[in-house]
Amino acid sequence: MRILVIEDEKKIASFIKRGLKEKSYSVDVAFDGDKGFFLAEINPYDLIVLDIMLPGKDGLFICRELRKKNIAVPILMLTARDEIEDKVSGLDSGADDYLTKPFAFEEFLARVRVLIRKKDKLKITKLKVADLELDQLSHKVRRAGKEIELTGTEYALLEYLMLNANQVVTRTMISEHVWNEDFDSFSNVINVYVNYLRNKINTGFDKKLIHSIRGTGYILKEE
């Protein structure tokens, strides 16, 4: 897996690079937008980490230009402290996800894994974990061949958990990927929906598939 990091803050760039290399990703770094854009055009990356404020071409411009050229590489945008407008324009420009600086490396790595896995699975429309099957085209869910009725939110939550099977998914990740801007982070809506889902997916079967990780989030896996 080859990742391009376009980030002019050298400390952040080297922190990301070191962390990714430890996880055996190969990493290229560009400290300005012009070099970053050049590298992104000529190399087949699995992911680009793209800061917005850069010397030379800025992140939003780079993202839009790559999409115009039909370069479909997943792009994780880095934004300065909670600038909601940056997030919106980042996603509008064709980025796949965003992360607000400063961030914990674990959170960053979780996003990277999700984006890379999503890319690998673009062509697959059926997700399967143990005897649980989800069809992304028809939105039908079956466990042990038996159809399970889900609401829209329950479906989106299950799909997200299955795309990240065997990985811990944090509440923050769920709130940002399954819920929209209206999400109230102080409510316990995620717990409520996970419980609904658990009742439908776990109850009545020998093996539990959805598990809580205390204080962190959830994981979908075979025990």
Q: Which parts of this chain interact with Ca ion (CB under 5 A)?
A: 8, 51, 53
Q: Is 219 left (phi over 0), alpha (psi -120 to 50) or beta?
A: beta
- The Cβ of residue 178 has, within 10 Å, a number of other Cβ atoms equal to 20
Shortest Å, Cβ 9 to Ca ion: 5
Q: In this structure, what token pair is assigned to residue 134?
A: 């989800």
Shortest Å, Cβ 10 to Ca ion: 10
Q: What is the DSSP letter of 53?
A: S
- Given the complex with Ca ion, which of 53 and 130 has the nearer CB atom? 53
- Given the complex with Ca ion, which of 86 and 154 has the nearer CB atom? 86
Would you say 209 and 221 are in contact if contact means Cβ atoms under 8 Å apart? yes
Bond before 74 cis per omega within 30 degrees: no
- Given the complex with Ca ion, which of 15 and 179 has the nearer CB atom? 15
- Given the complex with Ca ion, which of 15 and 160 has the nearer CB atom? 15
Shortest Å, Cβ 82 to Ca ion: 15
Q: In this structure, what token pair is assigned to residue 162?
A: 């299955």
Q: In this structure, what token pair is assigned to residue 46?
A: 């699995």
Shortest Å, Cβ 156 to Ca ion: 33
Q: In this structure, what token pair is assigned to residue 132?
A: 């649980």
Shortest Å, Cβ 57 to Ca ion: 12
- Given the complex with Ca ion, which of 62 and 134 has the nearer CB atom? 62
